[in-house]
């Protein structure tokens, strides 16, 4: 019994060290694989109850696991959609095969890094088919509220490389100097025109045609009063606002707006200098300057000059690039200088990362041992943030693995020697009969 147990222990030792050798071989083979996590083999002894005066070898048992919670170093790249997690979180991904079905069921997998590029359909995926997932943004760039304990709201990130966009004008800052002499007794009272461009909801250039008409003092001196009419080219020149602007001529405040009376259009706010008119595309706020400040509209001397005109909005632009920021927002950049949020990539956290089940291509799926998932905003919470232009290197330490390789080889040889010795002893037992 004792000799047989020695033989069994030696065989168990060979099997255990063979398993350890397999983990070392896998680690060394993947020493240049981005996102690879080390596999380790742990030995535990088996004890067999022995009788008095005898001892039976129980042998050894091996268990293997992958150290998913141990990160590798980050390496910089030149691709904006090369992503790595700096922290304990995981990127939500799915497989290429799930994109081929038509039921919209995308199984959730986890990854710590990936070199994502658009494929022929615009999906951001790696060369091995791992596809990035995120929450889609609304048309205005805001992210709706999604459940944080499930991946049901996640969709494969798809970039329309032929995408166009525009932004309608919602605000205009207007600065104009009106000649005070035009309101003087005996002046011609000629109307002064001004055209201000804006962009409608379809990115088309339209204009607000503004006419300043002086009120000529019928007796003597200056009236300091102008009538401002605003007409919208998009609606055939329809009058969208008419205002009577009176300027101050007192010492210290001369030339600034004293009051604005509304005939048609939104009311003037003297504290902000804003008024709102309704064009064909919708409401546009126009700032003509607060009363008494000297900003926006002025009435000085005898020169008519638009001093400043600025507005928001833009014409139609082409998509030129996509990037991902540290908070996980996927932003589309257009050649007209605007940026629009199209997805948000959350980071997944769970209580036991080492309980995840490893799959091909450095992705993982949850198990009963890994615990439940929770989706955090990147850079908010315990998961860390997302680094673009970066990939996570393999967690393998080649020098350490080679050292363990030597140890494993010695242990394997020693166990083989035990088996050889047991064989020789059994042969001696057989020879007793001679």
Domain boundary among 255, 289, 312: 312
* Whether residues 212 and 280 fall in one domain: yes
Whole-prediction pTM value? 0.73
Q: How many domains does the chain fold into?
A: 3
Cα distance from N-terminal residue to C-terminal residue, the chain:
22
* Whether residues 173 and 242 fall in one domain: yes
* Whether residues 350 and 416 fall in one domain: no
The residue segments making up the domain with residue 263 are 169-312
* Whether residues 85 and 209 fall in one domain: no
Residue-level pLDDT at 1: 55
* Whether residues 187 and 276 fall in one domain: yes
* Whether residues 50 and 24 fall in one domain: yes
* Whether residues 58 and 117 fall in one domain: no
What HEC string does the chain produce? CHHHHHHHHHHHHHHHHHHHHHHHHHHHHCCCCCCCCCEEEEEEECCCCCCCCCCCCCCEEEEEEECCCCCCCEEECCCCCEEEEECCCEEEEECHHHHHCCCCCCCCEEECEEECEECCCCEEECCCCCEEEEEECCCCCCCCCCCCCCCCCCEECECCCCCEEEECCCEEEEEEEECHHHHECCCCCCCEEEEEEEECCCCCEEEEEEEEEECCCCCCCECCEEEEEEEEHHHCCEEEEEEEEEECCCCCCCCCEEEEEEEECCCCECCCCEEEEEECCEEEEEECCCCCCCCCEEECCCCCEEEEEEECCEEEEEEEEEEECCCCEEEEEECCCCEEEEEECCEEECCCHHHCEEEHHHEEECCCCCCCCEEECCCCCCCCEEEECEEECCCCCHHHHHHHHHHHHHHHHHHHHHHHHHHHHHHHHHHCCC
* Whether residues 37 and 85 fall in one domain: no
Residue-level pLDDT at 56: 80
* Whether residues 220 and 288 fall in one domain: yes
Domain boundary among 278, 312, 346: 312
Residue-level pLDDT at 390: 96
* Whether residues 215 and 293 fall in one domain: yes
The angle formed by the CA atoms of residues 308, 311 and 313, to the nearest 5 degrees, is: 160
* Whether residues 384 and 399 fall in one domain: no
Domain boundary among 312, 332, 352: 312
CATH number of residue 199's parent domain:
2.60.98.20
pLDDT tens string for the chain (434 positions)? 577 788 888 889 999 999 999 999 999 999 999 999 999 999 988 888 776 768 788 789 999 999 999 999 999 999 999 999 999 999 999 998 888 775 667 899 999 999 999 998 889 999 999 999 999 999 888 999 999 999 989 999 998 866 677 788 999 999 999 999 999 998 998 999 999 999 988 888 899 999 999 999 988 889 999 999 999 999 999 999 999 999 999 988 899 999 999 999 999 999 999 999 999 889 999 999 999 998 999 999 889 999 999 999 887 778 888 999 999 999 988 888 788 899 999 999 999 999 999 999 999 999 999 999 999 999 998 999 999 999 999 999 999 999 999 999 999 999 899 888 888 888 878 788 76
* Whether residues 176 and 146 fall in one domain: no
Compute how many other C-beta atoms are within 10 angstroms of the C-beta atom of residue 306. 14
């Amino acid at each position: 019994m004792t000799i047989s147990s020695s033989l069994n222990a030696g065989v168990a030792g060979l099997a255990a060290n063979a398993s350890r050798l397999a983990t070392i071989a896998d680690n060394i083979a993947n020493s240049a694989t981005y996102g690879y996590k080390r596999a380790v083999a742990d030995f535990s002894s088996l004890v067999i109850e022995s009788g008095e005066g005898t001892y039976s070898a129980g042998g050894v048992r091996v268990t293997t696991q992958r150290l998913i919670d141990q990160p590798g170093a980050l390496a910089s790249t030149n691709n904006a959609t090369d992503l790595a997690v700096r922290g304990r979180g995981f990127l939500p991904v799915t497989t290429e095969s799930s994109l081929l079905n038509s039921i919209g069921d995308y199984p959730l997998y986890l990854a710590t890094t990936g070199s994502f590029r658009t494929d022929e359909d615009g999906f951001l995926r790696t060369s091995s088919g791992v596809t990035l997932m995120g929450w889609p943004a609304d048309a205005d760039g805001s992210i709706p509220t999604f459940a944080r304990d499930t991946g049901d709201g996640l969709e494969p990130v798809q970039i329309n490389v032929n995408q166009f966009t525009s932004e309608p004008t919602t605000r205009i800052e207007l600065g104009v100097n009106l000649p005070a002499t035009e309101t003087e007794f005996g002046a011609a009272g000629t109307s002064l025109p001004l055209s201000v461009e804006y962009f409608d909801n379809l990115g088309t250039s339209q204009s607000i045609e503004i006419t300043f008409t002086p009120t000529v003092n019928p007796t003597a001196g200056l009236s300091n009063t102008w009538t401002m009419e605003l007409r919208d080219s998009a609606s055939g020149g329809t009058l969208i606002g008419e205002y009577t602007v009176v300027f101050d001529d007192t010492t210290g405040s001369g030339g600034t707006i004293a009051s604005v009376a509304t005939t048609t259009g939104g009311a003037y706010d003297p504290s902000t200098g804003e008024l709102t008119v309704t064009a064909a595309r919708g409401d546009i706020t126009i700032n003509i300057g607060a009363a008494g400040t000297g900003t926006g509209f002025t009435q000085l001397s005898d020169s008519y000059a638009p001093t400043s005109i600025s507005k928001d909005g833009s014409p139609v632009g082409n998509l030129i690039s996509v990037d991902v920021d540290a908070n996980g927002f996927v932003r589309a950049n257009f050649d007209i200088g605007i940026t629009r949020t199209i997805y948000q990539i959350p980071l997944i956290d769970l209580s036991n990362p080492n309980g995840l089940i490893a799959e091909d291509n450095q992705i993982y799926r949850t198990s009963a041992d890994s615990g439940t998932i929770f989706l955090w905003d990147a850079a908010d919470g315990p998961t860390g943030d997302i680094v673009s232009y970066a990939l996570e290197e393999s967690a393998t330490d080649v020098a350490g693995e080679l050292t363990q390789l030597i140890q494993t080889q010695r242990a394997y040889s020693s166990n083989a020697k035990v088996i050889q010795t047991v064989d020789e002893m059994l042969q001696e037992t057989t020879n007793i009969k001679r």
